[in-house]
């Protein structure tokens, strides 16, 4: 027989962006704890609203499964004496297994105990299991209330815990479990009773609570689309905003509001940002793609007096747009370059100067990158973009709406008649702004973005602000991943070590400390690069192989990793074994100068001839990362390598002959070394 389990944790409003993680944790914790307790179940779901997190487990067994095990004990020689009587060892083992000594069985020279553990009743285990689920949840920030030491994301106000029709009794944070839940704050009639898990969602809906976020999502999307169709508009959809709205409401109703067309004279970003980021509104475009003076939003309630709610939302947005209009008009009274002077009074970071100092560093870093990458960009244009890069941070618009950094820089630069490439770079420098965001598309934007991120990351590391697993207040992890993705997407061969050294010199970091900081930066970048490759499903052997050299070149590592995958080099066992043997012989040797006059054996001559035959073709294959062709060429030398290693004594008594043979092996290994440390592929 089986019953259903319901756990509802009622709280004050939980931050919307916490909820997806919380629901995922609840579901995983429940599965882990039930499996560990050997309690069978059919299905687990986690649902929730801003004020409740609910676990629904269907078909939970009424008792644990019985567990039979065969436990190995001492050997027969130790368990029984010469007369076949059980010794103290046998009796102690039987006692520990809670069976009679005569029930021990003998197999393969050892004694065994066949033990069956009778499963306990699930009802008696659930209080601890459900309590453990609640206390096992983790949050970015938690709080405690009253005189309690207990911490949770928000104060717990009620707990519903049911097993079938019965309450699972326990108490947590001063709240006793029961079957009483609470309805919608405004539409509901207060507390209500939940008879069982099967009736939970239906009963909650009767009190204006839609507990399933997927159902709320469908209702929201349908409501928004209906209004958009009526107005002849297209929703500017944002998945992150939609997810946030889903977890802001318990009973959604879509509505449409309007604002004065005069505000459409503002830059689009100055209109959309207050809508989305501040008010959680969805903007719309007309059939021609132009922004409409309409917005969509979602009310946490029904359609009663919806026009009053609409007017309230319009009034709030009007105030925000009035602010934006005022700031925009005030900012336009000056050119963007005029704001550069104000950067001298804005500290970038203690020990790293002001934003003006950062702008001066960006001028030098962008020119350095342009030359290193041989991009052919105008140094003067790069210097201009660098000088203006942070100027919009001193404008009133960006100080009020910080999300518009870079966006308004581009807008003001275009108004001032700055070059289009410079203006575009001002907004692209911040990309990617978040995981999954677009990368910069113009070369100047990529260079400025790289310079900005390299300066910030290197500067912070030089000051000891190195991210940890839980602390990354300056978003250095995101910026590092941004650098690596920009380089790989552009295919730019750049040794990051050279950029680190250049920036550290600009920051006037002591030479003695530079080596330490360079090592920390290398380790951090390599780890992020490994994570990127792992997320793409690259085998860890290949990752270790391509990241084994002394340079930190993300684009080159990416090409080599893909080339190894395409060539299926890990499947070429004979080739890898032959060259790995060579690599193990030479260790760290580097000299590839071979004197053919010192050859004493046919094997030496054959291996040297094979190396000469392979060299020219390999250079061409490596140049285009054609590792399949390279593997075919290298395979031609397998026989010569094995013959040499099997028949030639490298450690010859004649020092000159010995060194020459080591040089020959070093030359041989150098033919495969452009691929990486192939010993890592084994």
What order do you get walking across the sheet with 234-235 strand by strand?
A: 234-235, 282-285, 291-300, 252-258
Contact 193, 180 (CB under 8 A): yes
Mean pLDDT of all residues in 10-14: 97
Determine if residue 33 is left, alpha or beta; phi over 0 gives left, psi from -120 to 50 gives alpha, anything else beta: alpha
Query: In this model, does residue 340 exceed pLDDT 90?
Result: yes
Q: How many CB atoms lie within 10 A of CB 479?
A: 21
Query: In this model, does residue 498 exceed pLDDT 90?
Result: yes
Paired tokens of 325: 């209009």
Spatial separation of the C-alpha atoms in residues 123 and 307, rounded to whole Å: 51
Paired tokens of 436: 């999954």
Q: What is the chain's mean pLDDT, rounded?
A: 94
Spatial separation of the C-alpha atoms in residues 161 and 464, rounded to whole Å: 49
Mean pLDDT of all residues in 251-280: 94
Contact 277, 403 (CB under 8 A): yes
Q: What is the pLDDT of residues 420-433, one digit of tens each?
A: 999 999 999 999 99
Report the length, in residues, of the chain.
682
Q: What is the pLDDT of residues 510-528, one digit of tens each?
A: 988 999 999 999 999 999 9
| Residue 308 pLDDT class (50, 70, 90 cuts) | very high
pLDDT at 103: 86
pLDDT at 346: 95
- For 291, phi then psi, to 5°, come to -65, 135
Q: What is the pLDDT of residues 134-193, one digit of tens each?
A: 999 999 999 999 888 899 999 999 999 999 999 999 999 999 999 999 999 999 889 999
Judging by DSSP bridges, how do beta strands 156-163 and 67-75 pair with one another? unpaired
pLDDT at 203: 97
Q: Which residues pair with 166 in a beta bridge?
A: 163
* Maximal C-alpha separation, the chain: 108
432: cis peptide before it, omega within 30°? yes
Spatial separation of the C-alpha atoms in residues 359 and 355, rounded to whole Å: 6
Neighbouring residues of 292: CB distance < 8 A, sequence distance ≥ 6? 231, 233, 283, 284, 285, 286
Paired tokens of 266: 């503002």
Q: Which residues pair with 297 in a beta bridge?
A: 255
Judging by DSSP bridges, how do beta strands 110-117 and 67-75 pair with one another? antiparallel
């Amino acid at each position: 027989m089986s019953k259903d389990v319901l756990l509802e944790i009622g709280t004050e409003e939980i931050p919307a962006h916490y909820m997806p993680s919380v629901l995922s944790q609840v579901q995983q914790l429940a599965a882990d704890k039930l499996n560990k307790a050997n309690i069978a179940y059919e299905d687990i779901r986690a649902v929730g609203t801003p004020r409740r997190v609910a676990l629904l487990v269907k078909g939970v067994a009424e008792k644990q499964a019985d567990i039979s095990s065969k436990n190995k004990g001492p050997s027969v020689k130790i368990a029984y004496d010469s007369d076949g009587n059980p010794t103290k060892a046998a009796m102690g083992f039987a006692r520990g297994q809670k069976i009679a000594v005569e029930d021990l069985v003998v197999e393969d020279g050892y004694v065994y105990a066949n033990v069956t553990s009778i499963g306990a009743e699930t009802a008696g285990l659930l209080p601890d299991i459900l309590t453990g689920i609640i206390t096992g949840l983790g949050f970015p920030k938690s709080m405690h209330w009253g005189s309690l030491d207990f911490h949770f994301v928000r104060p717990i106000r009620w707990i519903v815990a049911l097993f079938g029709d019965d309450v699972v009794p326990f108490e947590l944070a001063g709240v006793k479990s029961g079957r009483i839940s609470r309805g919608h704050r405004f539409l509901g009639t207060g507390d209500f009773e939940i008879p069982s898990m099967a009736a939970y969602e239906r009963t909650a809906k009767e009190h204006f609570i839609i507990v399933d976020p997927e159902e709320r999502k469908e209702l929201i999307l349908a409501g928004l689309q209906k209004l958009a169709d009526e107005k002849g508009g297209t929703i500017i959809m944002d998945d992150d905003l939609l997810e946030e709205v889903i977890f802001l409401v318990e009973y959604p109703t879509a509505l449409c509001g309007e604002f004065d067309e005069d505000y459409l004279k503002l830059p689009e970003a100055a209109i959309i940002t207050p809508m989305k980021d501040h008010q959680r509104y969805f903007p719309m475009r007309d059939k021609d793609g132009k922004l409409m003076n309409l917005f969509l939003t979602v009310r946490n309630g029904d359609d009663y007096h919806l026009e009053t709610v609409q007017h309230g939302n319009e009034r709030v947005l009007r105030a925000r747009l009035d602010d934006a209009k005022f700031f925009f008009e005030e900012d336009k009274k000056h050119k963007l370059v005029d704001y550069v002077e104000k950067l001298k009074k804005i500290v970038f970071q203690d020990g790293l100067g002001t934003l003006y100092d950062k702008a001066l560093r960006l001028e030098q870093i962008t020119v350095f990158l342009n030359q290193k990458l041989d991009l052919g960009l105008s140094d003067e244009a790069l210097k201009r973009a660098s000088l203006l890069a942070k100027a919009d941070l001193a404008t009133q618009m960006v100080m009020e709406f910080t999300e518009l950094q870079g966006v308004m820089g581009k807008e003001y630069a275009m108004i001032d008649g700055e070059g289009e490439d410079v203006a575009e770079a001002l907004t692209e420098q911040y990309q990617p702004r978040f995981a999954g965001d677009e990368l910069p598309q113009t070369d100047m934007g990529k260079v400025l973005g790289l310079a900005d991120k390299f300066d910030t990351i290197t500067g912070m590391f030089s000051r000891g602000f190195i991210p940890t697993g839980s602390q990354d207040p300056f978003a250095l992890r995101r910026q590092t991943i941004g650098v690596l993705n920009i380089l790989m997407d552009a295919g730019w061969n750049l040794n990051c070590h050279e950029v680190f050294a250049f920036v550290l010199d600009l920051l006037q970091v002591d030479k003695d400390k530079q080596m330490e900081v360079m090592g920390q930066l290398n380790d951090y970048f390599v780890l992020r690069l490994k994570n990127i490759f792992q997320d793409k499903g690259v085998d860890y052997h290949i990752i270790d192989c391509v990241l084994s050299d002394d340079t930190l070149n993300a684009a080159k590592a990416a090409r080599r990793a893909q080339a190894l995958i395409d060539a299926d080099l890990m499947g070429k066992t004979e080739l890898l074994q032959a060259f790995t043997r060579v690599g193990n012989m030479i260790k760290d040797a580097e000299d590839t100068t071979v004197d053919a006059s010192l050859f004493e054996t046919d094997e030496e001559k054959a291996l040297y001839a094979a190396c000469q035959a392979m060299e020219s073709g390999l250079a061409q294959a490596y140049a285009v990362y054609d590792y399949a062709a390279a593997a075919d060429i290298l395979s031609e030398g397998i026989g010569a390598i094995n013959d040499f290693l099997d028949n030639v004594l490298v450690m010859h008594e004649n020092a000159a002959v010995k060194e020459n043979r080591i040089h020959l092996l070093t030359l041989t290994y150098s033919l495969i070394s452009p691929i990486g440390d192939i010993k890592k592929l084994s």
